[in-house]
Amino acid sequence: MASSAVSTTATNSEHLSSVEGWKNHLEPNYLTLPDMFISFLAQPLVLNPQYEKKKAESEAWMSERLEYTDKERTKRAHADFAYCMSVFAPDAGPDELRTLCDWFQFVFDFDDQFDNGPMKNDPDKALKEIKSIIATMDSTGPKGASPQGSPLVEVFRSIWHRIATGTSTETQRRHREAMTEYCHGLIQQVSISSSREIPDLEEYLELRRRTSGVPPLFSLIDQHLNLPNAIFANASICTLQNLARELILLSASSSPPARLVSLTSTSQNDLLSYSKEETQGESHNLVIIYRLSGVPPQLAFEQIDKRLKACHRNWSQAEADLPHWGDAIDEQVTKYVAGLQHLVQANLNWSFRTERYFGKRHDDVRKTGAFKAPKPHVFRTESGRMDEN
């Protein structure tokens, strides 16, 4: 079925023009985001034509399985998880898109338990949940033979069954390994949170890579491609995978201020979710780690902008360094690289469409780049209050 093109809300020049206008009138308590719609992220979107139908189906199914209240159901509808997956996989068939929509909504509900939910400070409960997820994937046969789990574990069991029955053994292996690494990162996150300590920059960066939830989607790009396993060991392919994650969790090769010299990566998501997570008192955000290290949020945004640009330069070089494997494989590799780009593009555009980060003002924030700075949260450790800088 043909895909439908959707234009971005604002061009780079429109964004910069409107941002400059806002800068001249900003109150001191406003922050300005950098323009992130550059390079391939400035290209028009292609939206899967099944988007609206699969959004309705996925949200209804998740609501029934997880027994959402009316408020929770409305919140998920406004979050619009299906939109992100419909940009990520513009040519996916109806069943494949539905599985992606279910997976993406699942991973946010699952992750929220450890960020600001009942498992944030409960390592024992968190470990039990994580073990159930891993057991579902490690069981013999796609249906799994692990014991009955929580409602979210049972949602994942259904999703894993669909992935396992519709993909190759190698795709399943890659997805299982990526999900397992993500789950182990969540356990580490809960351990840090429950200790009431704030990680330093290096600890945070290592943790953020593990808990990003991005790599499991890589395996779902290649499920219809016929790529040899050796392709995924190629240095340029590995670099592009890392850059796709780092554009959602951005690699830094610029020269930051001396006190930030140990900072090696940051997060596009951390830029966009900063206001939400500062308000909710979540320390799992790089801008907050910057702030607690004495770096104001606006300066953190400027450093992140430098890293975004460096990451795009690295992407162009990695693409140029791709070897030639022959016409048939090269065509498949081109599709895989396009899938990585679609994933980054989907995340960025969805972040400005959803009400998850900027509420009803999401369109205004995309057009102007400006939003009201949240009140700094006072974090407390076992030794007492962590002073704000």
Residue 382, burial from CB neighbour count under 10 angstroms (0-12, 13-18, 19+): exposed
What is d(CA 146, CA 81) in angstroms, rounded to the nearest whole number?
Answer: 28
Confirm if 128 and 183 have CB atoms less than 8 A apart.
Answer: no
Q: What token pair was written down for 35?
A: 């323009």
Coil, strand or helix at 31 = strand
CA distances to 40, 90, 142, 352 from 5, rounded to whole Å, are 15, 10, 36, 18
pLDDT tens, position by position, 119-164: 988 999 999 999 999 999 986 444 444 567 799 999 999 999 999 9
Report pTM: 0.80
Q: Give pLDDT, residue 378.
A: 53
Query: Interhelix angle for 94-115 vs 151-166, to 10°?
Result: 150
Q: Please, what is the end-to-end C-alpha distance for the chain in angstroms?
A: 55
What is d(CA 165, CA 190) in angstroms, rounded to the nearest whole number?
Answer: 32
Contacts of 122 (CB under 8 A, 6+ apart): 190, 194
Any idea of the CA torsion for 326, 327, 331, 332, to the nearest 10 degrees? Answer: -40
Nearest to 244 by CA among 344, 368, 334, 140: 344
Confirm if 296 and 274 have CB atoms less than 8 A apart.
Answer: no
Confirm if 350 and 332 have CB atoms less than 8 A apart.
Answer: no
Q: Which residue has the tokens 């033979």?
A: 145
- Phi, psi at 380, each rounded to 5°: -120, 135
DSSP, res 157: H
pLDDT per residue rounded down to tens, the chain (389 residues): 334 444 333 444 444 444 444 444 445 688 888 888 999 999 999 999 999 999 999 999 999 999 999 999 999 999 999 999 999 999 999 999 999 999 999 999 999 898 878 898 899 999 999 999 999 998 644 444 456 779 999 999 999 999 999 899 999 999 999 999 999 999 988 888 787 777 676 777 777 778 888 999 999 998 888 899 999 999 999 999 999 988 887 532 222 332 332 233 334 566 666 666 666 666 556 676 777 777 787 887 887 788 889 899 999 999 999 999 999 999 999 999 999 999 999 999 998 898 877 888 888 888 888 878 777 665 555 444 444 44
DSSP, res 354: S
Beta-bridged to residue 4, according to DSSP, are: 47
What is d(CA 127, CA 274) in angstroms, rounded to the nearest whole number?
Answer: 27
Q: Which residue has the tokens 């999900």?
A: 179
Nearest to 121 by CA among 194, 16, 47, 35: 194
Beta strands 30-32 and 370-372, pairing class: antiparallel
CA 184 remoteness from chain centre: 17
Q: Give pLDDT, residue 78.
A: 93
